[in-house]
Amino acid sequence: MGPEELQDFTGDVMENATSVAEEILKKQMTQQLVSALEVCARCGICAESCHYYASEPEMKHIPATRGEALRRVYRALFDPIGRIFPKWVGASKLTEEELNVWVEMAFARCTLCERCTLNCPMGVDTAAMMQTVRKILTATGKAPEILVQLVDAAIERGKNPELYREFFLEQVAELEKELQEMTGDPKAHIPVEKVGAKIMCVPLSGTHTILPAAHIMHKAGMDWTLSLFEAANYGVFLGDITRAKEVAQRIVDEAKRLAVKDIVIVECGHAYTALRWEAPKWFGGPFPFRIRSCIEMIDELIATKRIEVDPSANSEPITYHDSCNLARKGGLLEEPRRILASVAQDFREMVPNRHENYCCGGGAGLVAVEEWRDIRLKAGRMKADQIRATGARIVATSCDNCRLQITDLAEHYSLDVKVMSLAELVVRALVKKERDAPLPLMTQEDKAHISPMQKG
């Protein structure tokens, strides 16, 4: 379905939600979705791989149960036997009541983390099925209102940047003062709309995402500029590619206007995955600039000695929570570990970790929906147990959603931990003396420390 068609459906919403939903489903039948709907062997292996089931072992928390909800409707629409003898094949027509049940199933009880897909012997992509359900619910006006509001506000900001530019520049001027205090350098500067800068840094809303990155780039003497727009893209959580593309368009247009070479996204899982891996598909090809996470940049700055760090600044035991988007979906597995090896004295892995790490329970927009707070706190029990077992006093993570969720988990499960971003830990470890020698050139040995992704 093209974006315009989806919008047409959105306009149709309240008339007949079930027939709109069925039409959307018919037009979503990609090879990926058909495979997910057709090949489940009902083995149940996926159960333990899902943090919902691991935290609360109930039938409704088994990934295959979620998939089955969509399969019943699929069989009623596409299986010739299902159309005539629905009970024989477990087919059922979609009802308004079922659609309402789907809202919690797809938005509150699946964070699209893909851990079940990784562990399924058939590779059944439950997240793709739940993303399709989200798309249907968005188009039928049933998506959580807060997610819709957040994405619409981001789009509005892109249409009228002049309305808030002055306010934004005032905020940046205040931040710059803080940066000067942090760095001890009265000339420390946060550039905005700098044409020809090498890097455009795209923050999230909140100074905690801007200041550490600004501090590190200032210390490394980088040529950069701060984006007018925030990186978060709630369109992907809605399964609404039209709106997700509009959110990304603001950043893409700004990067082209300023002719930057790299976009660097601050520590945010979904924003990185959306812009780096999904957006080129929405826009029909690669961009004329590189897209990187700031953890790739920091890893490179440490490896090439453009910043000096002292691990004794972080002497407390530290563990790292892999964001599903950055690690399992984005492939950033070793970069955070190399950073931590440089800036922390006592790093302790959670088990399991890297691509096998459990979701924290707050992903895919769930952390923004206050009425489902209890659901996400229960689903995070597995993560809380993992953290407790490490004995760490600091949980580092590279995603702001994870940070919010783990902060809530720490309170709810009485974990004696502080949650910090990698950039914050790096800032703590920055060697205070001013650099007095020219930046060293990259050696072959340095290059060996950089991942293939960075080289690309």
Q: Is 405 in the site for ligand SF4 (CB under 6 A)?
A: no
Ordered alpha helix ranges (H), 49-144:
51-55, 63-78, 80-84, 86-89, 96-103, 115-119, 126-139
Stretch that binds ligand SF4, among 124-132, 230-238, 393-401, 430-438 (CB under 6 A): 124-132
Residue 309, helix vs strand vs coil: strand
| Distance in Å, CB of 177 to ligand SF4, minimum | 43
3-state DSSP call for residue 364? coil
**Which helix (H) or strand (E) element contains residue 319?**
strand 317-321
Looking at 73, 124, 274, 415, which residue binds ligand SF4 (CB under 6 A)?
A: 124
116 part of the interface to ligand SF4, by CB under 6 A: yes
| Residues in contact with ligand SF4, shown as a per-residue x/- string from 71 to 110 under the rule CB under 6 A | ---------------------------------------x
Q: Quick check: bond before 286 cis, omega within 30?
A: no
Amino acid type, 350: M
**42 or 455: CB nearest ligand SF4:** 42
CA–CA gap between residue 147 and residue 139 (Å, rounded): 13
> Of 66 and 383, which has the nearer Cβ to ligand SF4?
66
Interface pick for ligand SF4 out of 21, 28, 37, 63 (rule CB under 6 A): 63
> C-alpha angle with apex 245: 249 to 331, nearest 5 degrees?
100
> Which residues between 29 and 58 bind ligand SF4 (CB under 6 A)?
40-46, 49-50, 52
Single-letter residue type at 220: A
Residue 333, φ and ψ in degrees, nearest 5: -105, -45
Residue from 76, 94, 106, 127 binding ligand SF4 (CB under 6 A): 127
Q: Which of 21, 91, 120, 279 binds ligand SF4 (CB under 6 A)?
A: 120
| Helix residue ranges, H only, 184-240 | 207-219
- Residues in CB range of 133: below 8 A, 6 or more apart: 69, 70, 102, 105, 106, 239
Q: Which of 61/215 has CB closer to ligand SF4?
A: 61
Contacting range for ligand SF4; rule: CB under 6 A; set: 63-71, 186-194, 399-407, 415-423: 63-71
Interface with ligand SF4 includes 236 (CB under 6 A)? no
Q: Binding of ligand SF4 at residue 115 (CB under 6 A)?
A: yes
Q: Considering the complex, state which of residue 109 and residue 306 has its C-beta at the smaller distance from ligand SF4.
A: 109
Long-range CB pairs of 275-282, under 8 A, 24+ apart, other chains included? 275/202, 275/231, 275/233, 275/248, 275/251, 276/330, 277/329, 277/330, 278/236, 278/244, 279/245, 279/248, 279/252, 282/241, 282/244, 282/245, 282/248
Indicate the residue among 110 and 327 with the shorter CB distance to ligand SF4: 110
Site for ligand SF4 in 335-364 (CB under 6 A): 359
Q: Which is closer to ligand SF4, CB of 118 or CB of 169?
A: 118
Q: Which helix (H) or strand (E) holds 303?
A: helix 294-303
Give me the least distance between CB of 383 and ligand SF4, in Å please.
Answer: 12
Measured from the CB atom, the residue of 44 and 286 that comes closer to ligand SF4 is 44
190 binds ligand SF4 (CB under 6 A): no
By CB under 6 A, name the one of 122, 146, 450, 453 that touches ligand SF4.
Answer: 122
Please give the order of strands across the beta sheet that includes 224-226: 224-226, 199-202, 262-265, 290-293
Choose which of 20, 33, 99, 112 interacts with ligand SF4 (CB under 6 A).
112
CB atoms within 10 A of CB 182: 16
Nearer to ligand SF4, 41 or 84 (CB): 41
d(CA 384, CA 412): 9
Looking at the Cβ atoms of 336 and 361, the one nearer to ligand SF4 is 361
Residues of this chain that interact with ligand SF4 (CB under 6 A) are 40-46, 49-50, 52, 63-64, 66, 110-116, 120, 122, 124, 126-127, 130, 359
